[in-house]
Structure 1
Amino acid sequence: MKIKIATRESKLALFQANIVANRITELNNDIEIELIPMKSEGDQTEKPLHEIGGKGLFISKLESSLEDGTSDIAVHSLKDVPAKLNTKFTIGAVLERESSSDMLMSSNGTSIRDFPLNSVIGSSSPRRKSQVNNIRPDINVVPVRGNIETRIKKLNDGQFDGLIVAKAALNRLEIDTSNCYEFTKEEMLPSASQGYVAIECLKSNLEILNILRKINNEKQMILAQAERSFVSAMNGSCLSPIAVLCSEEENNILISAKVLSQDGKDKIYMELNSSYENISNDIDSLASDFIANDAHNLILK
């Protein structure tokens, strides 16, 4: 049997695709793997995300390859996958989570609270921008595009004073973090499913789904889907300042969620203790509380 894996062409994407390939061949070394690197529509422009339709453009070409049979599975960073999938597709598996944290890279690893007045920080994420400006309204957060190596080069070239990146990406690519500040959870809650590698396939492809079921981390899938459900309930997208984290703490799951205005001046923050058994109902209940507090309108402000 041969399984064709669609992936973006970046070093990080290929690294993640190879992790998945190795997991599959560990199950059955008779399975042949072929990686199919693709340049997504989102990779072919430097325009800001809000001008090109959001992160959905990063997966649309990979999904098309699933439909036309060019590939059997597509590997993504789950945070880049829209919370509401086309009904033809499904997330067949997630792997164990890397760090969910965000990192602030600079010349000396300064914390966000100690960053120089009126500094410029690079990030195209409204979630990151809003949370930075909630703490430091003086800081100018400017859009930055490109793969992680390109963004770091722009920082080193002096285009801005700091750069916010996912710790998971730095860890996977073994990039030096000595000049990085790791945001606390209170300062910067992550994007839904940040740190997860996800494998997508056609919902109708039962043979592939059966294979993916064997490499899926069931507990992590529950947490990842709960976070995505919260964003979906908010009618959110990658352009919405919505942050949510479901983390295991002793014998329970702590759900932390935050919704902010685009400028970061206003926010709603709530926490809720849950369990694997109740998390689906609890995340719906938490989303309802946010909606009752006008979260839908807040993310548009």
Structure 2
Amino acid sequence: MLKEKLLVLVGPTAVGKTKLSLTLAERYDAEIISGDSMQVYRGMDIGTAKATTEERARVPHHMIDIHDPDYPFSVAEFQQRTEGLIRDINGRGKLPFIVGGTGLYIESVCYRFQFGQGGSDEAFRAEMQAYAEARGAEALHARLREVDPEMAEKLHPNDLRRVIRALEVHHLTGERLSEQLKGQKKQTPYELCIIGLTMDRALLYNRIEKRIDQMIEEGLVDEVRSLLNRGYGKDLVSMQGLGYKEIALFLEGRCTLDEAVELLKRNTRRFAKRQLSWFRHMQDIQWVDVTDMEKISDHLSEIHAIIAGKLTLDR
């Protein structure tokens, strides 16, 4: 039985995935599946760097704007929905193309992770949530670092839901979530090609800072204000996302806009570092260094060669 085909493009934020993905999608008659855990939320456009309306008109995009910001989106739901999309897109003779930077979500699809180990403890979750509210997200993250330092390194302190889940797994099973993930069978059910983009760290950080400045110019403050005014509180998982939590601090009068922007730049640099760390531990990634942005044709030639060696395509 022929395996379904799957093309994947990963890399840290601001490395240039969106622009390149459009070129590749048009070349290979692909449909893009967003591999970003925040782009599922409606009304969160600027801070999540969604593809524009014009870009989505060029290439079909999936897993964008499917939930309101108060919906508890999970990796298990991402996996289930994305597997359905992969079947559908392949069935229509197109190439499914996951593009994004949320490592666990993407890896769960590529290798069909099994979820649900350990069950749940609602009382424990509530206790951890209350702990974070009383002492701060950093304090809860410190507790995770004590029991599972490897998972703590991968999760931002503001990612409360996943920090709490990692603590809950340890609480219920006595095992580290990081070890459970390592125990997943890394055998893909797909004819799989994963391309990773990387670049010089200083250049990446510069691009991150410019992107954030552009987000402010495009109206990120108004976007966050609108979400808060519509009743989406800052304690929601979605509102803990990069850009939203920092700007909410400014709107609450707890810091200046300049301070919020600098905090956002710092947090995003740290996030990019964690993304790279996650992807470096993934198997099957073929890395392409895009530091020299003037050599886009060379980068494309390298990528085309990687795809030709991994996927059997009649195009």
TM-score, with length taken from structure 1: 0.29
Normalized per residue, the structure richer in helix is 2
> Which has the bigger relative contact order, CA under 8 A and spacing at least 6?
2
TM-score, with length taken from structure 2: 0.28
